[in-house]
Structure 1
Amino acid sequence: MTRNLPTSPARIGEDIEALAAITEPDRPYTRRAFTPTFLKGREWLTARFAAAGLETRIDAAGNLIGRRAGAKPDLGTIMLGSHSDTVPDGGRYDGVAGVSAALEVARALADQGIVLDHDLEIVDFLAEEVSIFGVSCVGSRGMTGQRPDEWLAREAEGLSLKRGIDEAGGHAAATLTRNDIVAFLELHIEQGPVLEAESLDVGVVTAIAGITRIEIVVEGRADHAGTTPMGHRQDALAAASWIVLAVERFARELASGPAHFAATVGEFRMEPNAANVVPAKVTMLIDARAEDRADMDRFLAELETGIQAIAAETGVTVAPLRVISDNMPTPCDPGLLDILDAACGTAGARHRRMASGAGHDTAWLARVTKAAMIFVPCAGGRSHTPEESAKVEDIALGAAVLMEAVRRIDTGEGL
């Protein structure tokens, strides 16, 4: 379908291709935060922001910000953005599409001679992906005063997080207070197959799923694999296999409801891991994600009951569930969701509402201001892989939706 968009697919394509070329040698689309390659990408983005007429700076948290002054700056700031760092061997569009779309909004407004009443800021957040320090969303947490102080002492590859932020142009020791942000919007590739499968242009994100990680330890007994009768074993692996299937069954039941739910046994360690020994111990880590907290509570309760029943059946010992981390779901602002729905209509974007199963910088901005996000399709739902791909025309349409939403927010609609 040919559309007459106010935003430019060509410029967005130039952004994405230029950043894709800034990558680690022999590793496609790799710009991990706190590396020289990431800083080189940042230099290119800074020049690109400036070429769009934006006043650029790096804040104390290490975020690159391009500002377009409004006619009435006392009204506050409308903020758009995402991230330019990547996971290893993936990330040509993940985050980058959102930064480019946000930048394109600023360029398109300038093309049309539109001056907003509010200031407009375009942000490339520092280290949204899990960094070498084992933590994520470093920049958005820092901007909103939610980065734990003890994180700064974390070290990896001869570098502390504090020094890493400072070398990125920030000032980690400073405390940031932003009370001027009236709304935040983020565009992102879906990282899933729904929009493509349903031939839709945009997903209006209702909530960012909470992520809970649970450790389960199964203790059996090591015995000789050839001489121990099958009825006399306490096989930790056999019991653990039942638990994995129980996780799958409980998750599928919850996922059949109206809210997003997913659970994965992503880490699995067996001891002693020898061919001729009955497994004595299994440790597994579950990643569970829920749009509705009640679903997570139900999952944890059913899982605890189920694993104890499995332990009794198999003769092994299973320790009580150990919750390693537990983040609550983050709903997006209802007023902004209505604005995005209306903006999709104006832009001619076929859309639906949907939840995000992945984490995003939006979740941290939503704790201090009105925030929401949109998804655009990605090929095959693939992400975090060199094959990750999206059409620049789809990103440009998403940018047009953002632009229309910004104009509606600027007039105070729905806020």
Structure 2
Amino acid sequence: MSRNLAVSAERIAADIDALAAITDPDRPWTRRAFSDLFLEGRAYLEREFRAAGLETRIDTAGNLIGRRIGKNRSAGTIMLGSHSDTVPDGGRFDGIAGVVVALEVARALAEAGIELEHDLEVTDFLAEEVSIFGVSCIGSRGMAGIRPDEWLGRTAEGMTLAEGIEKVGGTPALQIARDDIRAFLELHIEQGPVLEGEKLDIGVVTAIAGITRVEIIVEGRADHAGTTPMGRRADALGAAAHVVLAVETLAGELAATPGHFAATTGEFEMWPNAANVVPSKVRMLLDIRSEHRDDLGEFLSALSSCLEGIALDHGVAIAPPRLVSDNPAMPMDTLVMATLDAACETTGAGHRRMASGAGHDAAFMARIAKAGMVFISCREGRSHAPEEFAENADIALGAEVLLEAVKRLDMEL
């Protein structure tokens, strides 16, 4: 379907291609936060921000920000953005598309001669992906004033996180939560197959799912693999296999109910890990994503009951799941979601509401502003892989939706 867009699909493609070229040549597409390649990508973005008429700065948290001043300085700020860092062997579009689209919205506003009441800021957040320091969303946490102070002492590659933030131009000793941001919008590839499968253009995100991780330890007994009869073993691995299947079954049942839910046995260790020894111990780490808190409670309760039965059937000991980390879901703002729905209708974009199973900077911006996200489809739902791909026409349509949403929010807020 041909559409007349106020944004430039050609400029969007050129920016994404330019950033894609700034990569470790042996590991496309890799441009990790705090690296020299990351700084090179930042330098490109800063040049393009300035060419678009934006005033640029690096804030104390290490975020690159381009500002377009509005008519009413007391009205506050509408912010758009995402991140330009990648995972190793990551993708050309994860985060990058959101930064480029935010820049293109600023360009389109300038070309149309539209002066907003609010300031408009385009932001490239620092280290949204898990960084060399083992933590993520460093920039958005800092902007929200919730980056843990103890993180600054984390070390990697001969420097501390504090030194890394200084390297990119930030001031880690200062952490001040922004109180002027009235709305925040982020475009991102879906990183899943729903939009492509349903042949829809846009997903209006309802919530960013909570991420809970629990550890399960199965204690059996080591015995000789050749001489111990099958009926007299306390095989920790055999029992653990049933635990994994229980996780899959219970998660599948909850996934069939309204709201996003997923659970994955992501880490798995076995002792003594020898071919001729009956396994004595297994450790598992579950990653659980839930849009609704009640679903998480139901899952953990049902899993605990299953563990009791598995332990009894297999003659092993299984401790109750141990909570390792727990970040509740973050709902998106109702006004912003309604505005994005209306923007989709105006632009003719087929759309649906959906939760995000992945974490994003928007989850932390939602603590200090009315926040919303739009998803665009990516080929076969692939992401965090070299094969990650999004059609430029889909990205441009997403940019048009954000442009329309910014104009509406400027009047409605």
Cross-structure match for 2:167: 167
Cα distance in 1 for partners of 2:132, 2:270 equals: 26
Amino acid at match of 1:181: I
Partner SS for 2:274: coil
Q: Shift of the alpha carbon at 1:281?
A: 0.6
What is aligned with 2:376?
376
Q: Aligned partners of 1:66 and 1:393: how far apart in 2?
A: 25
CA positional deviation for 1:304: 1.2
Aligned to 2:411: 411
TM-score (norm 2): 0.99
Deviation, 1:4, is 0.2
Give the AA of the match of 1:63: N
Can you list the C-alpha shifts for 1:148-201, whole angstroms capped at 9, x where unaligned? 000000011111000000101000001223110000000000000000011100
2:339 equivalent to 1:333:
no
1:218 partnered with 2:238: no
| Structure 1 segment 170-319 matched on structure 2, within 5 A | 170-319=170-319
Following the alignment from structure 1 to structure 2, what is the Cα–Cα distance between the partners of residues 301 and 365?
32
3-state secondary structure, aligned to 1:74: coil
RMSD: 0.7
Distance 1:405 1:136 in 2: 28
* Counterpart AA for 1:66: G
- Name the structure 2 match of 1:10: 10
Deviations 1:112-139 (A, max 9, x none): 1111010000000000000011100000
Give the superposition deviation at 1:211: 0.3
Q: Which residue identity does 1:169 align to in structure 2?
A: G
Question: Alpha-carbon deviation of 1:312?
Answer: 1.1
| TM-superposition CA deviations, 1:67-100 (whole Å, max 9, x none) | 0010112100000000000000012100000001
The aligned counterpart of 1:98 is: 98
Q: Secondary structure at the match of 1:200?
A: coil
Could you tell me how far apart the structure 2 residues matched to 1:109 and 1:300 are?
A: 49
Question: What's 1:70 paired with?
Answer: 70
Q: Which residue of 1 aligns with 2:33?
A: 33
- 1:304 and 1:150 map into 2 onto residues whose CA distance is 34
Using the TM superposition, give the Cα deviation of residue 392 of structure 1 relative to its aligned residue in structure 2, in angstroms: 1.0
In structure 2, give the amino acid aligned to 1:338. Answer: A
> In 1, are the aligned partners of 2:91 and 2:387 still within 8 Å (CA)?
no
Aligned-partner Cα distance in 1 for 2:157–2:75: 44
Give the match's secondary structure for 1:73.
Answer: coil
* 2:74 counterpart SS class: helix
Counterpart-to-counterpart distance in 1, 2:366 and 2:305? 35
Count of residue pairs brought into register by the alignment:
413
Cα shift at 1:25: 2.8
Residues 326-360 of structure 1, C-alpha deviation per residue, up to 9 Å, x if partnerless? 00000000111100000001111000000000000
For structure 1, list consecutive stretches of 5 or more residues without a partner in the other structure. none
Identical aligned pairs, as a percentage?
Answer: 67
Does 1:112 pair with 2:102? no
Residue aligned with 1:205, SS: strand
3-state SS, counterpart of residue 250 of structure 1: helix
Runs of 5+ unmatched residues, structure 2: none
Dislocated runs of 4+, deviation >4 Å: none
TM-score (norm 1): 0.99
Q: Deviations over 1:218-267 (max 9, x none)?
A: 11011000000001000000000000000000000000001110000011
CA displacement at 1:310 relative to structure 2: 0.6
Q: Which residue of 2 aligns with 1:135?
A: 135
